[in-house]
Amino acid sequence: MREPDAASRGTSSLEQRMVALLRDSIGSMVSGAELASRLNVSRTAVWKLIHRLRAKGYSIEAIPSRGYCLHELPDVFTPGDLTSGLTTRRIGHIVQCITETDSTNTRAYRWAEAGAAEGSLIVAERQTAGKGRLGRRWESPSGVNLYCSVILRPTIPPAKASQLTFLSAVAVARTIETVTGLAPQIKWPNDILLNGRKVAGLLNEMSAETDGVHFIIVGIGLNINMRLDQFPDDLRYPATSLLLATGAPVARVAVARTLFTHLDQLYEEYLSQGFNHIRQEWVRRSAFQNRMVRVAVGDGYVEGVATGIADDGALLLDRGQGQTERIISGDVTAL
């Protein structure tokens, strides 16, 4: 496994600064002398950096006595591409990009235990043991989707931790809308749907004691350029990706940056104003709001009209005659 490509914003490596310079003038020539002077290195060092970047898949043209030209960015996650110019307040100041890991959540959890700062995040190209809820698996083929985990350290009681799942659902829905113009829907508790098919899943994990949260790992899996043949046959729900829903490949780095921006805005809003705004947007985007639903709970099921979510994340069902039932976990289908 390759070592993580990590960076703090403001302390990026020479290589990342070189990419940033070339990216700023993408499609046009930059002279070797200018690159050398901006990076404060020799022209031989510039040449070596160009070689390294080409080996990583950057398409850089070199014309003697004119300079270098970056034609297009490879669709690979690097800390520099994910964070340079990002104006987020809390999220994405420290980023790790990994080629392969078991689960970004597991890795982020260990990193948080070791003291990683709020907003630190991990992005992987591939997961070998991507986690869903209740021991289920998240299909994580290489190089086509986004698998990421963000470390948050809000000062809230553990009972409110699930609010962050709803926050991240709204962030993912906003992201899909911004990038594709499509209108995703949220299915309680943690699925994002496009045309009734699951395009993203969320898994939050927490470390806490009775009266306080140490940290919450917000895990997000979003299918971006996943093809039909990359989905296994036995998924619990029909699934899709942005590629399948729009008919065209989508730039993953742009999706990730948009997601971090929305997450950051919503998290700021959450810390300063509480959960209500987020609940309202969640309800507005909910697939089953005010609809008659059936929730499979254990061996049986409960039916009622979905009316919203409680502060602790419970789904509220109107069972008629003024009776409201709180559902803590279960699978919802519309009737």
Going by C-alpha positions, the residue among 88, 93, 99, 84 that lies closest to residue 16 is 84
Cα 31 to Cα 50, 61, 182, 292: the distances in Å are 12, 12, 42, 65
Q: Which amino acid is at 328?
A: I
Nearest approach, Cβ of residue 19 and ligand BT5 (Å): 25
Looking at the Cβ atoms of 56 and 136, the one nearer to ligand BT5 is 136
Nearest approach, Cβ of residue 333 and ligand BT5 (Å): 14
Residues at the site binding ligand BT5, with contacts judged by CB under 6 A: 103-105, 127, 130-134, 136-139, 147-149, 190-191, 198, 201-203, 219-221, 223, 235-236, 239
Looking at the Cβ atoms of 17 and 174, the one nearer to ligand BT5 is 174
Burial 198-210 (b: 16+ CB within 10 A, else e): bbbbbbbbbeeee
Looking at the Cβ atoms of 174 and 187, the one nearer to ligand BT5 is 187
Q: Which residue is nearest to ligand BT5 (CB)?
A: 201
Nearest approach, Cβ of residue 146 and ligand BT5 (Å): 8
Nearest approach, Cβ of residue 58 and ligand BT5 (Å): 26
DSSP 313: S
Nearest approach, Cβ of residue 119 and ligand BT5 (Å): 17
- Rounded to whole angstroms, how far apart are CA atoms 260 and 251? 15
Going by C-alpha positions, the residue among 159, 148, 98 that lies closest to residue 119 is 148
- Rounded to whole angstroms, how far apart are CA atoms 293 and 92? 38
Looking at the Cβ atoms of 12 and 105, the one nearer to ligand BT5 is 105
Nearest approach, Cβ of residue 273 and ligand BT5 (Å): 27
Looking at the Cβ atoms of 119 and 219, the one nearer to ligand BT5 is 219
Looking at the Cβ atoms of 42 and 195, the one nearer to ligand BT5 is 195
Contacts of 94 (CB under 8 A, 6+ apart): 6, 7, 8, 9, 116, 117, 119, 120, 121
**DSSP-H helix ranges across the chain:** 14-24, 32-39, 43-55, 79-83, 104-113, 163-180, 242-246, 252-273, 276-285
Query: Angle at the Cα of 93 (from 92 to 94), degrees rounded to 5?
Result: 90
CB 207 within 8 A of CB 213: yes
Nearest approach, Cβ of residue 236 and ligand BT5 (Å): 3
Looking at the Cβ atoms of 132 and 158, the one nearer to ligand BT5 is 132
